[in-house]
């Protein structure tokens, strides 16, 4: 049968009821147009130059104080450990912790019964030895008289009597009596020495204070037995004057070259964290102390403790003032840590930049960031802002306190040096 003729409107898709595939075609075309427009907008924004805002700090003039930190322990200037040289039982203890004592004051007393008996025995031995000296002296006198009589007889008899044997025997008896007398005298001296030792032990059984001070420690109680054989046991620990103390700190070997006698210092203790105490360095010892591979040097600081707020054994953190400089150019250490970002590439963008942005490609390596080669030397590069952007300046550094650094040359007061880049929202 003959086909129904198709109108021109149906052919062009302009009929009131177009086919379904025609609607889909227009929808895809609209989405593609929006995507292209968005990419064009993104590409246009990325072609605009970005404005970088820098954080700056002005070079100022002020005072710089260089300090060295160290920790140590407080101790009395003079501390005495009181021991005992004799053995025995503690009879009484007459002082306690924190008691103030004076020179010669009795601290404790031992039971001296055994020591006094030994002294009495030595006295008896001395008396006996002295009696033997008297006997030996009489014997010597007798031998001397006998020898003198024989010599007289020999003279009167013209040498005929006495017999040589009798004369030699008398001479030997005289020499023996003389030696016995010397021996008896030596025994007397020996007995006298033993008696002196025993009497000294009786005296030492009473323990006296050797200094004026305060009792820090007491290690004995009444009835306790102390034995003094190889070394004297310590019974008391005394501090002479707690109003003047010393702080012994350990200074690291890297800082000891800056520390000298006479420098000022301050320190704090945990008991009074909000209070700072003054001190002065009195000694920097040459002998080193190695602990866990760290080498330190003992440094002694004198401390005024008139208020008696500080106590022996407290741990202190000290700041030793090693250098002071007035009205020098200063800037914070953040200036020396700033490194400017790498400059953007200047190569011309081709007309295919939009297409390149749409197509994936391998990432380009980042441009190396210029490192500051002189970061650890006295001469270092810093950056100053101006109308033309960043300007590099080479400055010479001086002393630093860890926060600020002195500028010796290379920049003027008031110059704005870059410390960082402000974050963009």
Q: What is the b/e burial string over 133-152, where b = at least 16 CB atoms within 10 angstroms of the residue's CB?
A: beebbebbeebeebbeebee
- Quick one: pLDDT at residue 19? 55
Segment 158-164 mean pLDDT: 87
- Model confidence at 204, in pLDDT bands (50, 70, 90)? very high
As a whole number, the mean pLDDT across the chain is 84
Lowest model confidence (mean pLDDT) among 19-33, 122-136, 246-260, 263-277: 19-33
- Quick one: pLDDT at residue 233? 86
Q: Which CATH class is domain 67-77+243-322?
A: mainly beta
Topology given in CATH for the domain delimited by 80-111+209-240? OB fold (Dihydrolipoamide Acetyltransferase, E2P) (2.40.50)
- Helix, strand, or coil (residue 244): strand
Segment 384-389 mean pLDDT: 76
- Model confidence at 362, in pLDDT bands (50, 70, 90)? very low
Outline where 95-247 has alpha helix (H).
113-156, 164-204
Residue 21 pLDDT greater than 80, yes or no? no
Length of the chain: 425
- Quick one: pLDDT at residue 229? 74
DSSP string covering 27-82, please?
HHHHHHHHHHHHHHHHHHHHHSPPPPPEEEEE-EEEEEEEEEEEEEEEEESSEEEE
281 near 259, Cβ under 8 Å? yes
pLDDT > 70: what percent of the chain? 81
Lowest model confidence (mean pLDDT) among 212-226, 267-281, 293-307, 374-388: 374-388
What is the side-by-side strand order in the sheet with 234-239? 79-83, 234-239, 213-218, 100-101
Segment 97-125 mean pLDDT: 94
Count other Cβ atoms within 10 Å, centred on residue 101. Answer: 21
pLDDT tens profile 22-35: 566 677 777 777 77
Residue 348 pLDDT greater than 50, yes or no? no
Outline where 208-265 has alpha helix (H).
none
Cis peptide before 162 (omega within 30 of 0): yes
3-state secondary structure 285-314: EEEEEEECCEEEEEEEEEEECCCCCCCCCC
- Quick one: pLDDT at residue 96? 94
Evaluate the CA torsion angle 412, 414, 420, 421 in order and state its sign: negative
- Quick one: pLDDT at residue 227? 87
């Amino acid at each position: 049968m003959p086909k129904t003729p198709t109108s021109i409107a149906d052919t062009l898709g302009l009929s009131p009821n177009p086919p379904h595939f025609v609607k889909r075609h227009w929808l895809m075309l609209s989405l593609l147009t929006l995507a292209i427009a968005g990419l064009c907008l993104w590409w246009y924004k990325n072609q605009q130059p970005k404005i970088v805002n820098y954080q700056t700090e002005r070079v100022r003039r002020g005072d710089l104080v260089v300090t060295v930190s160290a920790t140590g322990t407080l101790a009395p200037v003079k501390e005495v450990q009181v021991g005992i040289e004799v053995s025995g039982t503690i009879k009484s203890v007459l002082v306690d912790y924190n008691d103030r004592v004076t020179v010669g004051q009795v601290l404790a007393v031992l039971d001296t019964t055994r020591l006094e008996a030994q002294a009495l025995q030595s006295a008896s031995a001395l008396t006996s030895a002295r009696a033997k000296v008297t006997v030996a002296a009489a014997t010597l006198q007798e031998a001397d008289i006998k020898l003198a009589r024989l010599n007289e007889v020999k003279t009167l008899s013209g040498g005929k009597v006495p017999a040589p044997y009798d004369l030699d025997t008398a001479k030997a008896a005289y020499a023996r009596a003389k030696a016995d007398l010397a021996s008896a005298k030596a025994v007397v001296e020996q007995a006298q020495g033993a008696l002196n030792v025993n009497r000294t032990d009786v005296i030492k059984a009473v323990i006296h204070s050797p200094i004026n001070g305060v009792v820090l420690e007491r290690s004995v109680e009444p009835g306790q037995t102390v034995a003094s054989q190889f070394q004297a046991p310590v019974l008391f620990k005394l501090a002479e004057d707690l109003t003047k103390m010393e702080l012994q700190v350990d200074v690291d070997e890297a800082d000891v070259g800056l520390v000298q006698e006479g420098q000022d210092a301050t320190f704090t203790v945990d008991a009074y964290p909000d209070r700072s105490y003054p001190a002065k360095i009195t000694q920097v010892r040459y002998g080193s102390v190695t602990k866990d591979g760290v080498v330190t040097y003992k440094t002694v600081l004198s401390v005024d403790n008139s208020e008696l707020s500080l106590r022996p054994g407290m741990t202190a953190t000290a700041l030793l003032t090693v250098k002071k400089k007035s009205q020098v150019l200063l800037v914070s250490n953040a200036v020396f840590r700033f490194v400017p970002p790498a400059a953007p590439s200047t190569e011309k963008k081709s007309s295919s930049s939009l297409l390149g942005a749409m197509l994936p490609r391998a990432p380009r390596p980042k441009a190396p960031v210029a490192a500051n080669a002189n970061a650890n030397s006295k001469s270092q590069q810093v950056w100053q802002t101006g109308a033309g952007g960043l300007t590099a300046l080479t400055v010479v550094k001086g002393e630093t306190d860890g926060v600020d650094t002195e500028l010796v040359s290379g920049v003027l007061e008031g110059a704005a040096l870059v410390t960082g880049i402000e974050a963009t929202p």
